[in-house]
Each structure stands twice: as C-alpha cells, then as structure tokens.
Chains A and B, each alone.
Chain A
Amino acid sequence: QKEVEQDPGPLSVPEGAIVSLNCTYSNSAFQYFMWYRQYSRKGPELLMYTYSSGNKEDGRFTAQVDKSSKYISLFIRDSQPSDSATYLCAMSANAGGTSYGKLTFGQGTILTVHP
C-alpha cells in the first residue's frame, strides 16, 4: 500500500463547477501538507501549504486537512478552463531534522474544466 493515495482521474467538469480533489495517507507523522498544480510539460508549482489540521483559503482555492481521518482535500470554486492541470498532493513528517523536508507525493489527479 502506498503511503499517499490519490485518485488519478481523469476528472472532467464544466466551467463554474466546484471541484473536490482528495488524498488519503497512512503515515500519522505527516504534519505539513501541500497541493501543487502542474500544467502539461511544466514543473509543479506550489498552490497551497498547510500545517496540521484545519482549513486554509486563498481566492477560489480551499485546502482542508483532517488528521484524524488522514484525509486532505483541495476545493476549487467557480472552476475555469485555466484550472485544467494535474493536481498533486504532497506531505512531509517534519520541516527539518533528519528528513530535510523530504516530501511524499500522491500520483496526481488530471483535471479538465471545459467551457
């Protein structure tokens, strides 16, 4: 079983829809949670960064972390065609120490928002 599970999709939604992307994980030591967006043939770009449980909002994007369920989510409101990309979740056990910030990634979910 992988440490981080993410449904690869693909997910196709109409413009304006609310998108929900999810990851589950098994390592209870994970404390730092990230979402990356990757456009085709480009490197991943950091979208959201959260520490421990709770919600974080940035414009149309909301990240949620539920450590008790080992479940994280990314919500995209009023989705746009420009949101079409692969979304990767990533997490780490600690920010320093011996792990040096190593991340464990989900496989990525391919999202298409059609006009």
Chain B
Amino acid sequence: DVKVTQSSRYLVKRTGEKVFLECVQDMDHENMFWYRQDPGLGLRLIYFSYDVKMKEKGDIPEGYSVSREKKERFSLILESASTNQTSMYLCASSLFRGEQFFGPGTRLTVL
C-alpha cells in the first residue's frame, strides 16, 4: 500500500511565525502535491513538484514556498503565518498516471 505521512495532525502557531509542514511518501513517486482544503472552497492546489528540486506553482501559491531536496520528501513552508492560512493542509503523491494518494492531513490554526 502507498503510504503518505505528514509530520503533524494538529498544529497551532502564532501570526508571523515561520511554519514547516513535512510530507513523506514511501512509494518512489515522482510527483508530490500540497493542497489546502476549506469549507465551501474544496481542495485548492498550492504547489506541486515533479522531480527533486523541481517545483511548480499551483492555483494559490501566495504566502507559501516549498522544498524538495529528496524524492520522498516534500515540505511546505509558510514564511510568515497569517490567520487566513488557518486550514487543513493535505499532501499527495502520484506516479505519472494521475491517481493521487493523500496523507492524513495537518489541521493548522494560526492565532
């Protein structure tokens, strides 16, 4: 079974803090994705990566950056957290075929 793990299930941070969300997959997938999920807005793509050290902006990249130093690990960085970044963050990975496998999610609250 594909396994995608995320470093934290719940996280509480203060406005202005730098926040790191980590994602690890164990199936040697090329593609990795970061989404946020909000009620009424569905899943929105923040960034994705199709190879080590490669990244592409998704639909809502503002306020976020990413890092992919190793194939299995994809990190999402909030440079200066704001309250409007309170959300559920989901990481996913896939082979070329497009079916994505998701982690359990990190519920981030920014106070």
Contact = CB atoms under 8 A, between A and B. Distances in A.
B98 A95 contact: yes
Contacts of A46: 99-101
B66 interface: no
Nearest to B9: A41
How many chain A residues sit at the interface, stated as a range, is 20 to 34
- Chain A binding surface SS class: loop
Contact of B99 (A34, A43, A100, A107): A34
A102 B47 CA distance: 10
B97 A43 contact: no
A93 to B, nearest CB: 9
B61 interface: no
16 contacts: A36-B102, A41-B105, A41-B107, A42-B105, A43-B4, A43-B102, A44-B43, A88-B42, A96-B97, A100-B56, A101-B98, A101-B99, A101-B100, A102-B58, A103-B100, A107-B40
Top 7 closest pairs, chain A to chain B, by CB: A43-B102, A101-B98, A96-B96, A100-B50, A107-B42, A92-B98, A105-B43
